Amino acid sequence: MFKKITNLFTAITFVAVTSLFAFSASAQTPIVIKLSHVVAENTPKGLASLKFKELAEKKLPGKVQIQVFPNSQLFGDAKELEALLLNDVQIIIPSLSKFDRYTKKIQVFDLPFLFKDTKAAQSFQSSKEGQALLKSMEDKGLIGLAYWANGMRHFAANKDFTVPADIKGLKFRIQASDVYESIMKAFGANGQKMAFAEVYQGLQTGVVDGQENTFSNMYSMKFHEVQKTIVETNHGILDYMVVVNAKWWNGLPADIKKGLTEAMNEATVYNNKISQEKNDEARKSIVDSGKTKIKILTDAQLAEWKKAVAPVYAQFENDIGTDLIKAAQSHSTKK
């Protein structure tokens, strides 16, 4: 009898101890959050992603673990949005040019020469209309948490050129953007949609003759080593939307969501502070490398680029909406 009681007692103790262990183990298991992007680490987006990790893990100690995958290591352009919807990755930060399958309205950011500089774009992004765009894909399962800036875009090619007439017939790598396809057509050139990770090889092997991007992306991916000329056209912005899977995000406990939101807001401020600096640094490194010539346009030459792409607006105004285009434009005329 006594032995039976002892055995029962041992069994109860064993169950209690193991469940206590199981409980404390589960209480301590952090939520693993995968963040994937396609650029190098020493870029505005690369550095801001690491800053987000640092801040989130500091604000939510032991509760979250942010795994950052740069350089298309986990998913490249072609797969990352699908992977996010499948919850195979929880945070991605695609360029605003890559959302046209999910919403036509975001195409506003690709309209050529719409923003006079990155400040004007940021001012629009923080406006009522810009903030509404963060929520415009919720019915497709995507929520935008923030905009991150990279910088102004420029054209580059493996030949000498100055004005649009010089690039007639050339093939340019473009992002997955219908607006950019039309832009290249307006120049009499061909736009070829290609994932970012494939661009260097595409340029090197002559699959494409040129591309357009920011100085930071060109330098960090060594595009300047396989291009002869960069024309500083400033024809558009290359900015990002940090997006999450809506179902995953909405299912997070309130304290985790709060901590992640705070970390995201601080990482956004950091990103937008360093983006200009990173692009200036990259521009200088390209000049110093002596491998590519950077051309600055005269007003008359710039006017030729602007005139050539003016018809693109009419092609997209129904999809984007004239009110949204006007709202975005107003940030470039504002003092």
Binding mask 34-73 for ligand LMR (x = CB under 6 A): ----xx----------------------------------
Q: Which residues pair with 150 in a beta bridge?
A: none
Q: Does 92 bind ligand LMR (CB under 6 A)?
A: no
CA angle, 263 then 129 then 311, to 5°: 120
How many Å is the maximal CA-CA distance in the chain? 103
Q: Is 132 helix (H, G, I), strand (E, B) or coil?
A: helix
Residue 225: both structure tokens together: 């080593």
118 near ligand LMR, rule: CB under 6 A? no
User: Minimum CB separation from ligand LMR for residue 95, in Å?
Assistant: 3
Residues 20-39 that bind ligand LMR (CB under 6 A): 38-39
Rounded CA-CA distance 218/296 in Å is 17
Can you tell me which of 175, 177, 220, 245 binds ligand LMR, judged by CB under 6 A?
175
Position 227 contacts ligand LMR (CB under 6 A):
no
Query: Which residues have a Cβ under 8 Å from the Cβ of 240 and sit 6 or more positions away?
Result: 45, 93, 94, 95, 96, 147, 148, 149, 150
Of 36, 158, 217, 220, the one binding ligand LMR (CB under 6 A) is: 217
Note the Cα 49 to chain centre separation in Å.
Answer: 11
Q: Which of 196, 249, 270, 305 binds ligand LMR (CB under 6 A)?
A: 196
Binding mask 250-269 for ligand LMR (x = CB under 6 A): --------------------
Size of the site for ligand LMR (CB under 6 A): 9
95 contributes a contact to ligand LMR by CB under 6 A: yes
Closer residue to ligand LMR in complex, CB, 64/81 = 81
Provide the 8-state DSSP code for 311: T
For residues 135-164, which are near ligand LMR according to CB under 6 A? 150
Q: How far is the CB of 303 from ligand LMR (least distance, A)?
A: 26
Distance (Å, whole) CA 171 – CA 191: 6
The DSSP call for residue 115 is S
Residue nearest to ligand LMR (CB): 95
Strands 190-193 and 171-174: parallel
Q: State phi, psi for 138 to the nearest 5 degrees.
A: -60, -35
* Binder among 122, 213, 234, 245 for ligand LMR (CB under 6 A): 213
Binding site for ligand LMR (CB under 6 A): 38-39, 95, 150, 175, 196, 213, 217, 238
